[in-house]
Structure 1
């Protein structure tokens, strides 16, 4: 176990992590606050972690040592998420730590935290350690939550019900620290990140709740909108027409030299289009909202379909295309040939050293 852990530590320890650890103990004097994470032998949770902080210069401490309870030499990381929507992405922390590294598992780095939420996790394969750090504005200057509202759009009948489907659009603003995230919950479900208008096409009464959080950590009061979706006229039994086109720069052999963009178009002359979906390379179908950009080299197939407000779903169509490997990558095998050299006439006549003809 010790040998394996030491090997993994060497594999994951990057030059940036080494540089971050050098001279760390000098940072306490410069930082406004010190936040400490600790780890032990668990692969599912940090032993301890802060949940709140104040914006400003901060010393981040990650202790994955024998003193913190790591008795197996297990390597962990403290990595700040820089891609998931709804979180701050302005701090790049990636500390790789093992009780057997040069620092004995105790590392410190300095960061400038801004108001909002940060997500952190352990990047070691198989580890499930993660959490959130909520940062409020320094000095408590922003104590006002965002303003958030929602509107419902769609075709209405004489009773005010939405025919076939309704679309809920949520808007939020914050004049101080700015909006960090917007969330919504449909019909009592858990809150989810709001990133695009929500389409509801199931007949019946519905309620959408919504809220927003600013970068200082202030959460708005919960708002809600209620509406009813009525079934579309029963006379529509024809599914939508849907098609897709692929665009991009092509090579002479028809492959795409770079990213390929797939655009899906759907129309319905009956009740109207309710949803459009796509599935790339046998992945599950997902909502189509914008053209799909594919940049991974190799052969690809994108399936597509559409559903109208009467519930009719079109047969799945598909487009296939290939993206060429980057020009710097040599994928062509060498050409090889063979030849025979020498005095062919002499060999054919049996002439050799010391031999005569006709003797």
Structure 2
């Protein structure tokens, strides 16, 4: 091969541009072919007696294989990778068929790494013997710049078509009181098993919420009754019926479950009809004898709740409503309180010739 290339280049000595083109096409392919030969001395030329033959082909594209298998059956198989002029490779481009052995979620027990070029020793057609196991394999082309040439091979159990859903169960653990309630918190563990194609996904739902992927035991610490539903799907697509369990979480004895006490008081000058004159000040007070007050919030005239830090002064004439609430350090929030008052504009001296007239009560 190298001698032939040298003779061609010598013949093209008067055409330097042709020599450059030949070098750019021939040398990378020769290098990759030598790497392949070192890694797989005779495997590429071995003819297999395996009943299952899986064929990949490649052409001039750097973004996709020309053809790939999608599914296979677990057990022995012959992998054929052809990257030749017969499969449409007219540019003598080198490709690989490489099985992923590191990405999570895939089988890593097949270490195929075939390098093929139309000008290698076998014309770009290679074979390898493998033993596939149920699950998914990821394959790709390892040549730089060919990263989009990637795909998946789904392998099902060689014993036959899996039509049986997984077995799935759940159990609750935690400290329990004499009535069987879980004190403080409960931990739910879901288990699934499938002896044919294998478990693909496990899901759970808490208190009629949407199903979500289960990856670790679920801790439930909200006081009250709870229901957990659970299900599993195998790699053949069979889904189990949803199972369910119920349990109750209660607060530990001595734990604060009582919300704070909260109130509001108003100060300011008032007229004979008890309207506040000029301005009014609202002071909110909260008390919690167990875990203590964490925060106090208020809302004026339907505005969003804001953190209360100091007395609130109101100077806009009209009717006003203050709503308020408090939360303690154990997370208990009081019911919302409401207070309404009316504010009128202060009268000038000309409007109050005599004290006690109109809104001049305090003049």
TM-score, scaled to structure 1:
0.47
| Structure with larger Rg | 2
